[in-house]
Amino acid sequence: MNSHLPAAMHDKTLTELSAGLAAGAFSSEELTRVFLARIEQFNPGLNAFITVTAEAALAQARAADARRQRGEAGPLTGVPIAHKDIFCTNGVRTSCGSRMLDRFIAPYDATVVEKLNAAGVVMLGKTNMDEFAMGSSNETSFYGPVRNPWDLDAVPGGSSGGSAAAVAARLVPGATGTDTGGSIRQPAALCGITGLKPTYGRVSRWGMIAYASSLDQGGPMARTAEDCALLLGAMAGFDPRDSTSVDRPVPDYVALLDRPLAGLKIGLPKEYFGEGLDSEVARVVEAAIAEYRKLGAETVEISLPNSQLAVPAYYVIAPAECSSNLARFDGVRYGHRCENPKDLLDLYTRSRAEGFGAEVTRRILVGTFALSAGYYDAYYLKAQQIRRLISDDFRRAFEQVDVIAGPTSPTVAFNLGEKVDDPITMYLSDIYTIAVNLAGLPGLSLPVGFVGQRPVGLQLIGHYFAEDRLLNVAHRYQQVTDWHRRAPAAFA
C-alpha cells in the first residue's frame, strides 16, 4: 500500500470510499490494489471467490481514474465490487457454482453487470455460491463451501454466501447477490451485513442464470443501508429484454434515507416470534425493535396466518420452475459434456448426472414429479393457490402498517456439515424469508447484534416498490447503532 493512502481503507464503507475518491484522497487503482491484496491474503481460508479478475479490475480502475480526471465521474465510479457467479460477465467464467458450467465463458454481460459497468464500478471477481443458487449454507458449490468470517467453522448462509462473506471480511465493499427464497437476506444476516431483495421486477433478470423465474431477484449486498441504496440506484430500472421487468421510475434512494421515523407503523407478525425461533435470537431482535420505538416508530401485532405454508408451497413451485429452466443443460450446446457418448440419450443422461450435484438433482426430480401428468393439480396448482393466500395476507397487513419486522433467520449461523444430510432442517433455515419471494415483495436484512460471536439479522419487509422506505428504516437504525461497523477480528 502506498504510504500516503489513508489507513484501513478496507474498513471504509462503499459510501465513504466514494467520497474519498471524489475528494482525491486516493485513486481507484490504489483502492483496487488494496482489495486485490486482501483477496489474495484471505480468500484461501474463506473460499468466497470462484474467479478473481485482477488484471481486468486494474484496467477498469485506470479507466475510472481517467473518467474522473475528465470530470465524468458518478458516485460509483472507481468503487470496487464483486458479482455473484450467477450473473453473466462477458469474457469471464460464469459457473453458477456448478461443474455443469465450470468452463462456460459468458459471451455477454447481464443487465445488472452492464448497468454497474456504466456507473463505473470495478469488478474484482465472481463470488462463490450454492450450485445454481440451490441451498441455504453455500455447501452445495462445486468449488467447496464458503466459510463464515465470524467463525470459520460456521456456514455463511446461502445461496449468496460468497458475496456475504466477502463483504463481511472486508475483501470487497459491496457485491451483487440473488434472492429466490432468502438467498440475499439469510447470508446477510448470518454474516452481519446489510442485504436487500428488491420487489420482483425492479431489477432486470436478463443475463442472470435462472433458478426459479417467478421468484428470482437480484439485489445489493453491502455493509450499510446507505451503501445498498447507492448500488440499487444503479442496478434498478426497466429492461425491455426482460419480460418481467417493471417500467417504473427509479427514485433517488440515497436522497430519501434521512426521513424521520416518527409515526412509522411496524407490524410484528405473531407467527415470526413463536415456536422454532431461537430464544437468544428473539432477545436480540426484540432489542432492535425497542430501538425503533425510541426512534418514534409504533409497533403493531399482526398476523400472517398462511406463513407456515410458505416452505411447502415454495418447495413445490421453485423445483418445478428449476426442472424447466435447467432442462437446457443437456451437454449439446454449452456446459459439461460427458466423454464418448454412445447415443443421444447417453449424452443427456451422463452429462446431466456428471454435471449436477446432489441438491440440484433432488430439486429437478421433485419439480419434474410435481409437474407430471396426474400430479400437476395436486401439487403445483395447489402451491400456486397457497401463494395467492400468502400475498393476500401481506396485502391485508399493509393496510394496517408501513413495514413488517421480524428475525431474518430462526438461528444464527450453524456449523459446516451440521445440516447437510438433513434437507428438511436445511429448508427451514428460510422459513421467515420465503413468503416474501412468493408474494414478490421487497425485503431487507440488517445486522442488529450477536449471539456469542455469530451475527443476528433483523428482516424488514415492505409493500411493493417500497425499497426507499426499507432503506430509510434500516439507515435510521444504523445511525444510532454500530452493529454494521463491527468487523470479524481476524479480518479487521
Q: What is the mean pLDDT of residues 82-108?
A: 97
Alpha-carbon gap, residue 478 to 470, rounded angstroms: 12
Q: Could you read off the pLDDT of 232-241 as tens digits, one per residue?
A: 999 999 999 9
**Buried b / exposed e along 105-114 (16+ C-beta atoms within 10 A):** ebeebbbbbb
Q: Is the pLDDT of residue 157 over 90?
A: yes
Residues whose CB is less than 8 angstroms from the CB of residue 391 and which lie 6 or more positions away in sequence, other chains included: 438, 439, 440
C-alpha distance from residue 396 to each of 12, 313, 387, 402, 427 (Å): 41, 20, 14, 11, 27
Q: Could you read off the pLDDT of 467-485 as tens digits, one per residue?
A: 999 999 999 999 999 999 9
Known catalytic membership, residue 183: yes
Mean residue pLDDT across the chain:
95
Q: Could you read off the pLDDT of 163-204 as tens digits, one per residue?
A: 999 999 999 999 999 999 999 999 999 999 999 999 999 999
Q: Could you read off the pLDDT of 44-65 as tens digits, one per residue?
A: 999 999 999 999 999 999 999 9
Of 18, 137, 159, 245, the catalytic one is: 159
The per-residue pLDDT for 374 is 82
Q: Is the pLDDT of residue 103 over 90?
A: yes
Q: Could you read off the pLDDT of 345-377 as tens digits, one per residue?
A: 999 999 999 999 999 999 999 999 988 878 888
What type of residue sits at position 381? Answer: L
Q: What is the 3-state secondary structure (H, E, C) of the chain?
A: CCCCCCCCHHHCCHHHHHHHHHHCCCCHHHHHHHHHHHHHHHHHHHCCEEEECHHHHHHHHHHHHHHHHCCCCCCCCCCEEEEECCECECCEECCCCCHHHCCCECCCCCHHHHHHHHCCCEEEEEECCCHHHCCCCCCCCCCCCCCECCECCECCCCCCHHHHHHHHCCCCCEEEEEECCCCCHHHHHHHCCEEEECCCCCECCCCECCCCCCCCEEEEEECCHHHHHHHHHHHECCCCCCCCCCCCCCCCCCCCCCCCCCCCEEEEEHHHCCCCCCHHHHHHHHHHHHHHHHCCCEEEEECCCCHHHHHHHHHHHHHHHHHHHHHHCCCCCCCCCCCCCCCHHHHHHHHHHHHCCHHHHHHHHHHHHHHCCCCHHHHHHHHHHHHHHHHHHHHHHCCCCCEEEEECCCCCCCECCCCCCCHHHHHHHHCCCHHHHHHCCCEEEEEEEEECCEEEEEEEEECCCCHHHHHHHHHHHHHHCCHHHCCCHHHC
Q: Where are the domains of the chain?
A: 9-263+485-491
Q: Could you read off the pLDDT of 262-321 as tens digits, one per residue?
A: 999 999 999 999 888 999 999 999 999 999 999 999 999 999 999 999 999 999 999 999
Grid cell digits, residue 191: 454474516
The per-residue pLDDT for 8 is 84
Q: What is the 3-state secondary structure (H, E, C) of 53-111?
A: CHHHHHHHHHHHHHHHHCCCCCCCCCCEEEEECCECECCEECCCCCHHHCCCECCCCCH
| Greatest CA separation for the chain | 70
Dihedral sign, Cα of residue 194, residue 199, residue 204, residue 208: positive
Q: What is the mean pLDDT of residues 61-75?
A: 96
The per-residue pLDDT for 6 is 55
Of 183, 204, 245, 307, the catalytic one is: 183
Confidence band of 1 (pLDDT split at 50, 70, 90): very low
Grid cell digits, residue 270: 405473531
The per-residue pLDDT for 2 is 41
Q: Is the pLDDT of residue 381 over 60?
A: yes
Nearest to 271, CA basis, from 136, 69, 406: 406
- Strand partners for 51: 126
Q: Is the pLDDT of residue 145 over 60?
A: yes
Grid cell digits, residue 461: 419487509
Confidence band of 5 (pLDDT split at 50, 70, 90): low
Q: Is the pLDDT of residue 433 over 50?
A: yes
Q: Is the pLDDT of residue 4 over 60?
A: no
* pTM, two decimal places: 0.96
The per-residue pLDDT for 3 is 38
The per-residue pLDDT for 419 is 87
CATH class as words, domain 9-263+485-491: alpha beta
Known catalytic membership, residue 84: yes
Confidence band of 424 (pLDDT split at 50, 70, 90): confident
Of 18, 28, 84, 137, the catalytic one is: 84
Q: Is the pLDDT of residue 7 over 60?
A: no
Q: Is the pLDDT of residue 220 over 50?
A: yes
Alpha-carbon gap, residue 388 to 435, rounded angstroms: 11
Percentage above 90 pLDDT, the chain: 92
